[in-house]
Amino acid sequence: MIPDQASTASDLSLRIVERIDAIPASSWNALGVRAYPFLRHEFLTALENEGCLGERYGWLPRHITLWSGERLVGASPLYLKFNSYGEFVFDWSWADAYRRHGLDYYPKLVSASPYTPATGPKLLLHDEAPAHTATQLSVAALELARQSEVSSLHWLFTLAHENALLESAGLLRRTGCQFHWQNRGYPSFDAFLASLSAAKRKNIRRERRKVGEAGVRFRLLDGNSASDDDWTLFHGLYESTFDRRGGMPTLSLGFFRAIARSMPEAVLLIVAEQHASPVAAAFCLVGETTLYGRHWGCSRYVDNLHFETCYYQGIEYCIEHGLQRFEPGAQGEHKVPRGFLPTETLSAHWIADARFADAISRHLHFEREGMIDYMKEMAAHSPYRNEEAP
């Protein structure tokens, strides 16, 4: 691996950090991550300290940092991975192709916030970072990948300008799609409904009415107002959702309690109660401009409860708090008639084996064309009236 304090192209020094709490929280958070709660020092620390990462789950921290003396000026969250779980940019078929050719796809390196399919910066820069610091971060990551002899390096859910920089360095662009809601300055939820076609507006009102008629009411809590009992309730529902779907609930109860304490204003817990008895809950993260929907669970079926808890409550929250966007998570064509439109997501990939790099490059070209067609098709089903479409 690249040794600590290795020299770079400028007077900056490079350190590979295997525990995020080896870096002062104020230094990391000064790298432009305040708007993105899932990249904050508190969030990444809770993942590492509360049993959500490590060898058990195949996520080993290898964070890249650049220092000017003792001041952190640039960093990238980076993990050595032994599987593809919790990434949401799916490369299972790539791993299978390696296996069929008698090669090892794992380990690999991944720059991401674990278990978080949300776009945000991965080349983190201080406001006073020297020119080309972002380039130096990408070069350091590639050098670490080569020296570690991993199969590949992946930058997931990058910002557009970051992906352009990585592509200029020869990495492969991959295009994905999520469904996001945009706040067009709606003064109320009814104003949002007024922007939709009559049929979609009527359907949303019917869905919300059925939840209310079932006796369901909601409590919206932040990290300060949510109690230990609230987190215990939510975590049980969260685990039950993964158990039903055959998944792995990697986030511990300690993790949720830790971020509630360390970043309470960035936490939103939506608790649904039927006749004063809890029946469902959804967990979200609150950024400076965006609400991020992450996990939910329920203990009994109530018609349309998922839509109300995970979508409509979030839209209302955005309107009331002046947030510009609502990103409710990965996938889900059923979100379109409820106001969420197709949005491009980006990632960049370096493949060590030239033969596989060529094959994957050709695959990604056709995949991108198909993804563009898919997004156009989904946009054609927009619920917004023509004159109101975002």
Alpha-carbon distance 81 to 78, whole Å? 9
Total residue length of the chain: 390
Burial (CB count within 10 angstroms: exposed 0-12, middle 13-18, buried 19+), residue 265: exposed
pLDDT tens readout for residues 189-231 = 999 999 999 999 999 999 999 999 999 999 999 999 999 999 9
Q: Could you tell me if residue 351 is left (phi over 0), alpha (psi between -120 and 50 degrees) or otherwise beta?
A: beta
Q: Could you tell me if residue 115 is left (phi over 0), alpha (psi between -120 and 50 degrees) or otherwise beta?
A: left
Instruction: Check whether 256 has a pLDDT greater than 90.
Output: yes
Backbone angles phi, psi at 336, to 5 degrees: -60, -50
pLDDT tens readout for residues 350-382 = 999 999 999 999 999 999 999 999 999 999 999
Report pTM: 0.94
pLDDT tens readout for residues 87-103 = 999 999 999 999 999 99
The residue with tokens 């300290």 is 49
Answer for the pair 111, 122: CB distance below 8 angstroms, yes or no: yes
pLDDT tens readout for residues 297-328 = 999 999 999 999 999 999 999 999 999 999 99
Instruction: Check whether 389 has a pLDDT greater than 70.
Output: no
Answer for the pair 99, 153: CB distance below 8 angstroms, yes or no: no
The residue with tokens 């979030």 is 314
Answer for the pair 177, 343: CB distance below 8 angstroms, yes or no: yes
- Domains belonging to the chain, first-starting first, are 6-176+344-379 (3.40.630.30), 184-323 (3.40.630.30)
Alpha-carbon distance 370 to 8, whole Å? 40
User: Across the chain, what does the average pLDDT equal?
Assistant: 95
Percent of the chain with pLDDT strictly greater than 70: 96
pLDDT tens readout for residues 135-170 = 999 999 999 999 999 999 999 999 999 999 999 999
